[in-house]
Amino acid sequence: MKILLATAITLSLGLALNPVVTAQKQSHDGIQLRIAYKHGYRAGYADGYEAGKNDFADRMGRDYQRYALYQEADRGYKSSFGPLVDFKEGYSLGFEVGYFDGYVGRNSDSRIPPNVARPGGKSAPLAGQRPEGERRLNRPSPKALY
C-alpha cells in the first residue's frame, strides 16, 4: 500500500511540474479567452445589426451607445464561454460593427474582421494599411464614412 501511495504521489508531482502539461493548461486558458470573445462578438453583432437596421428604418440618428444591450454587453453570456470581461469586450465591439452594418444596409457578416484587436493584444494592420497611430492629414475618420 505504501509503495502504491508513493508511486501515485511521485507521478502526480511529475505531471504537475512537467512543462508540457503546464503549456497545455496555459494553451487551454488562451482558448477559453478566444471562445468568450468570439461568442461575445457574434452575439453583439447580431443585436447591433438589428438595432441599426431598425434605427435606419425608423429614421433615427445613429447612436448605438444609447442601447441598454450595448451598455450591459452580457446578453447571451454563459460561464462555460470563459471570462465575462472578454465576452463583454467582444460583445461591445460586435454591437458597434453590427449596428453600423445594419444602419447602412450592408449584408450581415458576424465574422470577426482580421484587423480587429484580439483580447490582450493589438490589432495588426491589413496589407496596405498604415500601422496603428500613423495617420495621413486631412483624411476623414472611418466613422465619418458611415
Q: Note the pLDDT of residue 92.
A: 95
Asked if 43 and 74 count as a contact pair (C-beta separation under 8 A), the reply is: no
> How far is it, in rounded angstroms, from Cα 17 to Cα 67?
48
Task: Flag whether the pTM goes above 0.75.
Answer: no
40 residue type, one letter: G
pLDDT in tens, the chain (146 residues): 556 445 445 444 444 444 333 333 333 455 555 899 999 999 999 999 999 999 999 999 999 999 999 999 999 999 999 999 999 999 999 999 999 999 999 999 999 888 775 555 544 444 444 444 444 444 444 454 44
> How far is it, in rounded angstroms, from Cα 121 to Cα 127?
19
Q: Note the pLDDT of residue 27.
A: 37
Dihedrals phi, psi of 103, to nearest 5 degrees: -65, -40
Which residue do the cell numbers 491589413 mark? Answer: 126
Q: Note the pLDDT of residue 124.
A: 41
